[in-house]
Amino acid sequence: MKALVLDPAFGLDNLRVVEHPDPAPGPGQVLVRVRAASLNYRDLLIAKGQYNPKLAFPRVLGSDAAGEVAAVGAGVTAWKPGDRVAGCFMQHWDDGPITDAAAKSTLGSDRDGALAELIVLEARGLVRLPDHLSDEEAATLPCAAVTAWNALTAAGVGPGGTVLLQGTGGVSIFALQLAKALGARVLITSGSDEKLARALALGADAGTNYKTNPDWEKWARQQTGGAGVDVVIEVGGPGTLDRSLKAVKTGGHVALIGVLAGAGTVNPLLVLMKAVRLQGVFVGSRAMFEAMNAVIGAKHLRPVIDRTFALSDAVAAFRHLESAAHFGKVVVKM
């Protein structure tokens, strides 16, 4: 089979689409013919050596796969050839709180990932696809959408609440769609006026450009009559966290997810003086994925795909993600 492999060392120049041995399912496992995969900022960090310094080479990258079951291993009764499925980001997180074992079962880092024509997944590490989604659309869900869902539901987002989102990448655009589906008001920032217009067209209630308006935390407070937002979906990391803590209301919730904005200083006094709940989010469980898919199915939500590349062009897809020119998700079709 063909696969996008990182070998023999870190660096985007070491990414290649090559012939790789076909994997075979063991007991309790399923062989999936991947139809589409999507890229995440994490995949870029992994390729550059900024995520898992102990990565084993050669490694097939990719966190998100959608396709159909090609064969099942011994003892598997829940799945049959032809079932349309997506892989869970963590192969060993069924439900309940995250465990150390779950956190070490991620695709494209702890084990071979999604950017391949075939992938072996655990029978417990699969979900059924919402019927109305294409393979490309479904391939966007496992990492970015589940992360957004976990963050929003853990924060108790619902009608009457205001959520602040940062930028228009994969996690933030899913957070926009899902927060609106949950009935919340959505504020969003972007470094591009054109992307802000697209976010408003998708349902965001207000937006501001963080490049021309670097004091976006003041803007967010103004949008809430000075009180501050209920929830921040924090994808910037240390470079934005201080402003997020100023934007959130007293007693509000900040979901710590990403590292897009680089270094910065954070004043922990704001966390305690405002009694902010700071919640780390690491994607989510299979149960969360299934609950999210039920809402996506009921509301007929459609993921936003920026661009689709062929597997033979997967390195160009990484470069496109790196450019941050995208809005929503970048997909690779097998």
Ligand X SMILES: NC(=O)c1ccc[n+]([C@@H]2O[C@H](COP(=O)([O-])OP(=O)(O)OC[C@H]3O[C@@H](n4cnc5c(N)ncnc54)[C@H](OP(=O)(O)O)[C@@H]3O)[C@@H](O)[C@H]2O)c1
- Rule CB under 6 A: which residues touch ligand X? 40-42, 143-144, 147, 166-171, 189-192, 195, 210, 235-236, 239-240, 257-261, 281-283, 321, 324
Closest residue to ligand X, judged by C-beta, is 169
Separation of alpha carbons 151 and 169, rounded Å:
16
Tell the smallest beta-carbon distance from residue 104 to ligand X (Å).
Answer: 14
Tell the smallest beta-carbon distance from residue 227 to ligand X (Å).
Answer: 22
Helical axes 146-154 vs 170-181, angle rounded to 10°: 50
Tell the smallest beta-carbon distance from residue 19 to ligand X (Å).
Answer: 29
Of the candidates 88, 93, 114, the residue with the CA atom closest to the CA atom of residue 104: 93
Q: Please, which residue, 126 or 143, has the CB nearer to ligand X?
A: 143
CA 182 to mean position of chain CA atoms: 18
Q: Please, which residue, 71 or 206, has the CB nearer to ligand X?
A: 206
Tell the smallest beta-carbon distance from residue 1 to ligand X (Å).
Answer: 26
Q: Please, which residue, 64 or 72, has the CB nearer to ligand X?
A: 64
Q: Please, which residue, 192 or 224, has the CB nearer to ligand X?
A: 192
Q: Please, which residue, 107 or 118, has the CB nearer to ligand X?
A: 107
Separation of alpha carbons 44 and 66, rounded Å:
20
Q: Which residues contact 74 (CB under 8 A, 6 or more apart)?
A: 26, 27, 28
Task: Tell me if residue 83 falls in helix, strand or coil.
Answer: coil
Alpha helices in 75-211 (DSSP H): 100-103, 135-138, 146-154, 170-181, 193-201
Tell the smallest beta-carbon distance from residue 69 to ligand X (Å).
Answer: 26
